[in-house]
């Protein structure tokens, strides 16, 4: 999928400039966004290559979710442009699941949208769930899942269909410690597989392990590389 916030092609997308050679899978340039009169994002840039993990950090209300929604094509910037190379998976901050469907039915539904047959979607969904220490029951409706398990369903749905770019908005809310570590192991595996992963996070202890940090705190708002 390629989403552009303007009609001009983004320079650099898919190119392999520099010495590291990895193609750019997500390129956001000069993103400006205001709600009413309040400017939330003021010329934010983010470039993520294949095999990179980027963290978006910042105080509450700094614009992290807004930036991710713009990257996902779910919100329009006032200025700037976004390009994505390949398929995109998005995990919203609040679990975007349907109360009266089972997890298995979610796998089938979301899998169909990603071109997977029902059996393959079910198999892949259950595999992904196991990596988060979740054994998927057959009959439980999403409304009856615990908060942490609903969030696991949210992460699995984002990763279903093997997207090239993963945008994850504080995806581990409600996870127990083991599942939280499992989640980050998945992130490192996705990086090894060459995906571009963007995680909105408040967990500063993991920032030494990501490839870049976009700090949206007031007075910063610019891209920083570790």
Ligand X SMILES: Nc1ncnc2c1ncn2[C@@H]1O[C@H](COP(=O)(O)OP(=O)(O)OP(=O)(O)O)[C@@H](O)[C@H]1O
Residues in contact with ligand X by CB under 6 A are: 35, 40, 58, 60-66
CB-nearer residue toward ligand X: 20 or 94: 94
Q: How far is the CB of 64 from ligand X (least distance, A)?
A: 4
> Between β-strands 212-215 and 222-225, what pairing exists: parallel, antiparallel or unpaired?
antiparallel
Torsion of CA 46, 94, 107, 88, to 10 degrees: -10
Q: How far is the CB of 77 from ligand X (least distance, A)?
A: 12
> Between β-strands 212-215 and 52-57, what pairing exists: parallel, antiparallel or unpaired?
parallel
CB-nearer residue toward ligand X: 70 or 156: 70
As a whole number of angstroms, the distance between CA 42 and CA 62 comes to 11
Q: How far is the CB of 217 from ligand X (least distance, A)?
A: 9
Q: How far is the CB of 131 from ligand X (least distance, A)?
A: 25
As a whole number of angstroms, the distance between CA 190 and CA 59 comes to 27
Q: How far is the CB of 33 from ligand X (least distance, A)?
A: 8
As a whole number of angstroms, the distance between CA 149 and CA 175 comes to 8
CB-nearer residue toward ligand X: 62 or 132: 62
CB-nearer residue toward ligand X: 29 or 64: 64
Show the DSSP H helices in 73-143 as ranges: 103-113, 118-131
CB-nearer residue toward ligand X: 91 or 121: 91
Give the chain's end-to-end CA distance (angstroms, integer): 29
């Amino acid at each position: 999928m390629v989403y552009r916030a303007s009609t001009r092609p983004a320079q650099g997308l898919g190119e392999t400039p520099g010495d590291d050679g990895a193609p750019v899978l997500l390129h956001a340039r000069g993103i400006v966004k205001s709600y009413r009169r309040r400017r939330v994002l003021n010329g934010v840039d983010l470039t993520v290559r294949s095999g990179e993990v980027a963290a978006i950090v910042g105080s509450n209300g700094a614009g992290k979710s807004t930036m991710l929604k713009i990257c996902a094509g779910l919100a329009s910037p006032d200025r700037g442009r976004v390009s994505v190379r390949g398929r995109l998976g998005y995990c919203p901050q609040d679990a975007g699941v349907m109360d009266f469907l089972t997890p298995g039915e979610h796998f089938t539904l979301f899998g169909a949208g990603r071109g997977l047959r029902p059996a393959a979607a079910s198999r892949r969904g259950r595999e992904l769930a196991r990596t988060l220490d979740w054994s998927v029951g057959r009959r439980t409706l999403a409304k009856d899942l615990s908060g942490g398990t609903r969030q696991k369903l949210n992460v699995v749905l984002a990763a279903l269909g093997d997207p090239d770019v993963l945008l994850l908005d504080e995806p581990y809310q409600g996870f127990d410690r083991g599942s939280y570590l499992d989640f980050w192991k998945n992130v490192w595996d996705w990086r090894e597989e060459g995906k571009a992963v963007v995680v909105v996070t408040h967990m500063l202890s993991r920032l030494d392990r990501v490839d870049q940090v976009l700090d949206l705190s007031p007075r910063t708002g610019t891209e920083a590389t570790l």
